[in-house]
Amino acid sequence: MMQEAGFNVVRLAEFAWIFMEPEEGRFEFGWLDEALGILAAHGISAILCTPTAAMPAWVPRKYPEVMALQKDGTRLTWGVRKNNCFTSGTYRLLSERITRAMAEHFADTPNVIGWQTDNEFGHPFCYCPTCRADFQDWLRRKYGSLEELNRAWGTHFWGHRVTRWDEIVIPDNPEGHNPSACLDWQRYFSWLNVRFQRDQVRLLRAVCPRHFVTHNFMGLFPELNYYDLAEDLDFVSWDNYPVWGKPEVPYAASAAADLMRGLKRRNFWIMEQTAGPGGWGVFGRNPRPGELRKVAYQQLAHGAEGNLWFRWRTCTAGREQYWHGLLGHDGRGLRRYQEAAQTAQEYHRLAPELEGTTVEPQVAIIYDYDSLWALRIQPGFAGNSYTAAMQRYYNALFRAGVNVDLVRPTEDLRRYRLVLAPELHVLPDQVARRLIAYVEAGGVLLADCRTGVKDDTGLCHARTLPGLLSEMLGITIEDYEAVPEGVEFRLDWRPAEEGQAGSLPHAANQFTATQYVDWVTPQGAEVLAGYDEWYLRPFAAVTRHRFCGGTAYYVGTVVREPEFYDALIALLLESAGVKPLVQPPPGVEVSIRSGHGKRLLFLVNHTESAQTVKVPAGGTDLLTGEQTGETLTLPVYGVAVIKL
């Protein structure tokens, strides 16, 4: 059935440690050899997984210290997954042993093409004495001296200065502990996962040099610095499950794809793609007819190079009995299987045209894990979320039909015409100078509220906000406030001085400011919007400043209406000279893959009604073979791939 569907790769063994090492030191791979042989006979390759996300029962029976310790001092109970302590030397050695045994056994198996490390890194946090001691060692390596650590953490406050490394505790209460310590604990936990993976990657590369190594990331998952986790891999893969709740435009799946591509600035794989209703105890809705195909094409449009559905057949046993596959419990090839088969066969036809292409945006959003973590520790105002701040702008760019890269703060920005830096809360001086240089050289930059508050240790800059960016932005912020729930202000667009374009094109005159307000004083910047509240009238809400060769915008509040961000993005794109190729109707996604002299326009209809799109005439729809006119109609959940 897999062969008939056009499937050519299967992932295996991610939780199969007990079947490969039923007792310590005794390995049994015959069953997996048999499975791989069956797959090979049908022309199907395999990706093998290091099975260290779910340990056999004999491991904690013999070595109870491998189980993660919870805050209350009790060990996690064996019987779930992701329950190991990453600092346990025993667990690291056992993981190395099973990884080496697998690598050596399957190094020359013809249809094994690559490896996935572990499974969905990110849990659990452990509070055992070994983790505490290792955290102390990590801090010693980072800071070099207690004097520097005390300075970086500001431990003079509350008299929390430490005089010995072993006095440092795990800051297990982010709402009460020192925020700098909490930030370093999050960084340390991320590093632990990176180190654990690195041990496996080095071994796999040494034993299986012809195989690729990847890992199944989780999109916008917040616990790990994915830039760091991606460094040791050949390419990134990720697990995409956008079918939850009522049908809606999956903005987050699009943003996650762009982040996955941005981690290594190269295309990615989908290692797990929605195959049916998901859930452990309670399952979600069934994908609508055409939705599985649409979900897959959204990822293809953003740079996916491979697509694996999870799972093949719905399990009849275990915790994931309700995490449905392409086949149901009965194993019959019904609607979802047939839709996946259609998608796979279309992918094979498209493959020659896709070869050598990727997404090459003119717009970037800086996505910073330090700022994300610092704002989780101290949001500043109720409801503040770094990811939500990013999505406000990202969603508007999506609606405008513009591709985006999500990149780290230290990325070379010169390739982009427009850069957005939402809530860049942790702003080291070197990053601030890079942003200034970008605008000086002609770039268009947007910054917004809570930017530049902290340095890289989590201490507040002793500067008037927005710190080093003040001159470039042409503003100062001497005061700010959280807006209580139930309170809101009218945001009015104000005409700029005569002879200067200052209003938003096609925008309504009034919007609603909520949650937070910067009291922005222009210092050379144009005022594009202000407030109607009496005490806020002297201050700006939105500004624009021509600086050297470029332009810098600042938004000092959170606006309720998505239309505000649509209008603002239209102004930013015009300012940066970025012209969308297609202006899509609501709910239709546009993406372009290009390279090797090819340019492919993807259109994806995320709505449950037909949509007509204005497209460049004279192209070829590669799915139908028809030449495009001036418009193209997409059916419900329809897609098009147009060769321009």
Helix, strand or coil for residue 308?
Answer: strand
Catalytic site residues? Answer: 120, 272
Of the candidates 441, 452, 387, 386, the residue with the CA atom closest to the CA atom of residue 419: 441
In the block, tokens 């340095």 appear at: 455
Helix, strand or coil for residue 286?
Answer: coil
Which residues 6+ apart lie within 8 Å of 79 measured at CB? none
d(CA 630, CA 455): 52
Q: For strands 510-522 and 557-559, give the pairing.
A: antiparallel
Which residues 6+ apart lie within 8 Å of 545 measured at CB? 472, 473, 474, 475, 524, 525, 526, 551, 552, 553, 554
For the CA atoms of the chain, what is the radius of gyration? 26
Q: For strands 405-407 and 363-366, give the pairing.
A: parallel
d(CA 436, CA 472): 6
Token representation of residue 213: 């190594």
56 upstream amide cis, omega within 30 of 0: no
Token representation of residue 275: 């195959």
d(CA 379, CA 175): 10
The H or E element that residue 633 is part of is strand 631-634
Side chain identity, residue 199: D
Contact by Cβ (8 Å): 51, 13: yes
Compute how many other C-beta atoms are within 10 angstroms of the C-beta atom of residue 376.
Answer: 18
d(CA 143, CA 133): 15
Of the candidates 589, 553, 588, the residue with the CA atom closest to the CA atom of residue 569: 553
d(CA 540, CA 526): 9
What's the distance, CA 207 to chain centroid?
A: 31
Contact by Cβ (8 Å): 219, 239: yes
- Residues linked to residue 446 through DSSP beta bridges, in sequence order: 420, 553
In the block, tokens 């982010």 appear at: 174
Helix, strand or coil for residue 157?
Answer: helix
Contact by Cβ (8 Å): 449, 556: yes
d(CA 134, CA 248): 45
Query: What does each C-alpha distance from 609 to 299, 342, 585, 586 come to in angstroms?
Result: 21, 21, 12, 11
Query: What does each C-alpha distance from 526 to 339, 509, 556, 608 come to in angstroms?
Result: 53, 17, 14, 43
Token representation of residue 533: 């509240």
